[in-house]
């Protein structure tokens, strides 16, 4: 072999060895690249997982805040509904109370009006009854006088028959008057309960006429013992009623005095005098003691006398 061939062989052998070394190095480098790729993929996955967790947390917090807002709004709505319900309940009770108060006032006014009408009817009934009694007495006297005069004249038979018929008419009229008086009495009892024994009734009031005498203050106290007061005259009819129950030559105390102020006459119930039936020239307040208490006579006229005088008295109370 020549020297040149030996050199070529040596060079080829060197190239072969270098190629083997390069191949070995490439083979050693290959696993490191795969491992690096796997490591980079794992890091990206972890980062992605953190991002997903962060997004999940943000979404959870957002949903929680939205739900809390909805719950708060619902609670506010419920609270407002409760307040409206309480306000409606309070308003309803207030309106109901006002309606009840209005109805009570209306009913009270209607009852007062009915009571006043009943009093007026009762007074009218008593007046009619009193007039019928007077008519009965007067008519009876006129018929008797007529019969007596006719009988004294020796009238003829036809006249006597007419008188007999007149007597029959009188009897029928008397019967009708008695029936009417009884009806009036029953109607009067509808408006007023019976008065105590010994008391007289007029309209819806009971009156007691004493048979003994006392001074004015003692008579006032005596009426108070019966839950009554000395008589107070409100109408002309009431004054006539009192006068009709007083015998002649008798005087009765009324509940009228000016002891608190001379000339300022007031009733025992505190009302000032508005309707009066003074006798002529009265009241005159004569004498050094003065005349400060009022009396009533059988003719219905009043007089002022000394309060310390002893007189009969009239008590008055509701029946």
Give the model confidence (pLDDT) of 19-28 as tens digits: 566 655 655 5
Count of positions (residues) in the chain: 319
Q: Are residues 313 and 250 in the same domain?
A: yes
Spans in the chain with pLDDT lower than 50: 1-9, 11, 30
Q: Are residues 167 and 262 in the same domain?
A: no
- Whether 235 is covered by a domain: the verdict is yes
Residue 276 has a pLDDT of 96
- Whether 246 is covered by a domain: the verdict is yes
- Whether 163 is covered by a domain: the verdict is yes
- Whether 73 is covered by a domain: the verdict is no
Q: Are residues 156 and 185 in the same domain?
A: yes
H or E segment and range at residue 318: strand 312-318
- Whether 261 is covered by a domain: the verdict is yes
Residue 44 has a pLDDT of 84
Q: Which residue has the tokens 């009708």?
A: 176
Residue 73 has a pLDDT of 84
Q: Are residues 243 and 294 in the same domain?
A: yes
Q: Are residues 232 and 268 in the same domain?
A: yes
Is the omega angle on the peptide bond into residue 283 within 30 degrees of 0, that is, cis? yes
Of 163, 191, 219, the domain-final residue: 191
- Whether 263 is covered by a domain: the verdict is yes
| Domain housing 170 | 111-191
- Whether 170 is covered by a domain: the verdict is yes
Q: CATH number of the domain that 287 lies in?
A: 3.10.100.10
User: Number of C-alpha atoms within 13 angstroms, CB side, residue 28?
Assistant: 6
Give the model confidence (pLDDT) of 293-307 as tens digits: 999 999 999 999 999
> Helix 157-191 crosses helix 3-152 at what angle (to 10 degrees)?
150
Q: Are residues 314 and 204 in the same domain?
A: yes
- Whether 230 is covered by a domain: the verdict is yes
Q: Are residues 205 and 281 in the same domain?
A: yes
Q: Are residues 226 and 123 in the same domain?
A: no
- Quick check: 150 and 159 in contact, CB under 8 A? yes
Of 142, 168, 191, the domain-final residue: 191
Residue 3 has a pLDDT of 46
- Residue 300's region, left for phi above 0, alpha for psi from -120 to 50, else beta, is left
Question: How far apart are alpha carbons 214 and 225 in whole angstroms?
Answer: 14
Q: Are residues 170 and 230 in the same domain?
A: no
Residue 107 has a pLDDT of 61
Of 169, 191, 213, the domain-final residue: 191
Give the model confidence (pLDDT) of 155-192 as tens digits: 567 767 777 787 788 777 777 777 776 666 666 555 55
Q: Rounded to the nearest 5°, which phi and psi values hold at 132?
A: -65, -40
Q: Are residues 214 and 249 in the same domain?
A: yes
Residue 30 has a pLDDT of 45
**Number of domains, the chain:** 2
pTM summary value: 0.43
Q: Are residues 157 and 242 in the same domain?
A: no
End-to-end C-alpha distance for the chain, whole angstroms: 176
Q: Are residues 206 and 244 in the same domain?
A: yes
Residue 287 has a pLDDT of 86
């Amino acid at each position: 072999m020549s020297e040149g061939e030996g050199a070529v062989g040596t060079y080829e052998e060197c190239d072969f060895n270098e190629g083997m070394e390069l191949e070995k190095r490439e083979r050693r480098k290959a696993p490191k690249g795969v491992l690096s790729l796997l490591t980079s993929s794992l890091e990206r996955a972890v980062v992605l997982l953190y991002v997903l967790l962060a997004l999940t947390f943000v979404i959870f917090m957002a949903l929680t805040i939205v739900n809390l807002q909805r719950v708060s709004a619902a609670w506010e709505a419920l609270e407002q509904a409760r307040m409206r319900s309480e306000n409606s309940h309070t308003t309803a009770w207030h309106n109901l109370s006002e309606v009840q108060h209005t109805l009570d006032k209306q009913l009270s006014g209607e009852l007062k009006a009915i009571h006043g009408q009943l009093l007026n009817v009762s007074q009218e009934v008593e007046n009619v009854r009193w007039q019928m009694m007077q008519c009965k007495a007067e008519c009876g006297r006129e018929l008797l006088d007529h019969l007596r005069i006719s009988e004294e004249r020796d009238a003829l038979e036809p006249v006597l028959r007419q008188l007999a018929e007149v007597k029959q008419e009188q009897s029928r009229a008397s019967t009708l008057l008695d029936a009417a008086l009884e009806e009036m009495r029953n109607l009067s009892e509808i408006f007023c309960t019976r008065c105590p024994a010994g008391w007289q009734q007029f309209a819806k009031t009971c009156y007691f006429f004493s048979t003994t005498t006392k001074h004015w203050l003692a008579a006032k106290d005596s009426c108070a013992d019966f839950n009554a007061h000395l008589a107070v005259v409100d109408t002309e009819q009431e004054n006539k009623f009192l006068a009709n129950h007083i015998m002649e030559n008798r005087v009765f105390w009324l509940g009228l005095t000016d002891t608190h102020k001379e000339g300022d006459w007031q009733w025992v119930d505190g009302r000032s005098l508005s309707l009066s039936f003074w006798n002529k020239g009265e009241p005159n307040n004569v004498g050094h003691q003065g005349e400060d208490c009022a009396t009533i006579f059988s003719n219905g006229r009043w007089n002022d006398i000394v309060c310390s005088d002893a007189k009969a008295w009239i008590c008055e109370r509701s029946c």
